[in-house]
Structure 1
Amino acid sequence: MDVRSIRLLLMSFTALVVSVGAVAQQGPIIEPNLERRDIREADIDSENVEIGVFAGQVSIEDFSSSSIVGVSLGYHITENIFVEATYAQADAGETSFEILSGGAPFLTEEEREYRYYDLSVGYNFNGELFVTQNTVFNTDFFVTVGGGSTDFGGESQFTLSLGAGYRVLITDYFALRLDVRDRIFNSEIIGEEKDTHNIQYTLGATYFF
């Protein structure tokens, strides 16, 4: 290699070093511009016991709708599976025949007392509810199945309970719930023995501890 070739090689290497140094002094070509959001997300407290109160309407088959109130006590075995005991009471209204005929009532005032207790197993489908850009609540859509007893019309009947609901975790220990239940039991109050469907809609508040 002659002197002229060596000189050209040195000049090319020098130009490359100068170019790399200039790029390094300019800093990164792309600078990320990320805005982080502070998201408020309530979660279930570390305790697994859930106690609550609820109120709403129950439609007792063959009788008019009535107000109902009750209490519940649940235990969350896992994040998705829970067991729950409930107790509630209402005063049944009149049948269509009683209303139209104005005749003697089918039931006494004491027999119109509608009370039940049951034990159910439930399964949670976890989700989230976005209220604002920075506020999100954990939620559960759940289904339940269970059994218990209903006192109505002077009799106690085994009752199958089927239901579904929606729970919103407002804080780590406080939640609001919307529940729908169908309690099915055998009845012959109006003369015909049959399985009655008694639909219940309630709104409740629960506390975790």
Structure 2
Amino acid sequence: MESRIQHFLIAVLLFTPGLGGAATDPDELDLEPLVVREPERREIKVDKLDSENFEVGGFAGIMSVEDFGTDTLYGLRAAYHITEDLFVEAVYGETELGQTSFERLSGNVQILVDGDRDMSYYNLSVGFNVFPGEVFVGRRLAFKGGLYIIGGAGSTDFAGDEHFTVNFGVGYRLAATDWLALRIDVRDHMFETDLLGSEELTHNIEFSGGLTIFF
């Protein structure tokens, strides 16, 4: 009985695929060749950084001249950006003086003749960007912008005389593109004058806005 079982098991091993010695011959195995694929190379374009350091433009606004009221102001500016945060700027502006309160109350008395009522100034200032950032318009549109402080010195042609002038103020620059910007400025132009009889320091406030281009 045991010999019959042994013969049966031997027959099963010989005729079952994968269990017999003939079925394990590696030459008879059907193997697919191994294919190694190289990674696809993608060309990445990197935008060049803008190198425009010069800024020029015009502005308009109002200027409140102490004792003379508020009048329209026009001017030109040119700046050079030394670093991302620091820049120097030259400005020329002009306005026309109105009447003082004394002239309005006294009737025909005039402190200045018409030719001396044209006021102009020029200065050289240093500016520093203190809060650069972005302004978002909607969900997809963003513009670069930032607040800056600025101060400097120059000269003011006031009432027929030249006056040494110190200016200080703040402004905001909004870059519409990489070459066009919108600017808003508030400045205090300070100089001494004795036009009304005694030497005094006057504060003349400028509110202006304009466009500048970079190149």
TM-score range for the pair, normalised by the shorter chain length: 0.7 to 0.9
Query: Match for residue 193 of structure 1?
Result: 199
Query: Match for residue 94 of structure 1?
Result: 99
Partners of 1:45 and 1:208 within 8 A in 2: no
Query: Match for residue 174 of structure 1?
Result: 180
Q: Distance in 1 between matches of 2:196 and 2:59?
A: 29
Deviations 1:157-181 (A, max 9, x none): 1000101000100011000000000
Runs of 4+ aligned residues of structure 1 deviating over 3 Å after TM superposition are: none
Query: Match for residue 15 of structure 1?
Result: none
Q: Distance in 2 between matches of 1:94 and 1:146?
A: 28
Query: Match for residue 82 of structure 2?
Result: 77
Partners of 1:63 and 1:94 within 8 A in 2: yes
Q: Distance in 1 between matches of 2:50 and 2:177?
A: 9
Q: Distance in 1 between matches of 2:170 and 2:133?
A: 15
Q: Distance in 1 between matches of 2:68 and 2:203?
A: 11
Which structure 2 residue ranges, 5 or more long, are not aligned?
1-48
Q: CA deviation at 1:190?
A: 1.2
**Higher relative contact order, structure no. (Cα contacts within 8 Å, ≥ 6 residues apart):** 1
Larger Rg: 2
Query: Match for residue 184 of structure 1?
Result: 190
Query: Match for residue 206 of structure 1?
Result: 212
Q: CA deviation at 1:135?
A: 0.6
Partners of 1:45 and 1:173 within 8 A in 2: no
Matched residue type, 1:94: Q
Q: CA deviation at 1:129?
A: 0.4
Aligned CA-pair RMSD: 1.0
1:165 aligns with one of 166, 171, 177:
171
TM-score (norm 1): 0.78
TM-score (norm 2): 0.76
Give secondary structure in 2 for the equivalent of 1:46.
Answer: coil
Matched, 1:136 2:133: no
Matched, 1:108 2:113: yes
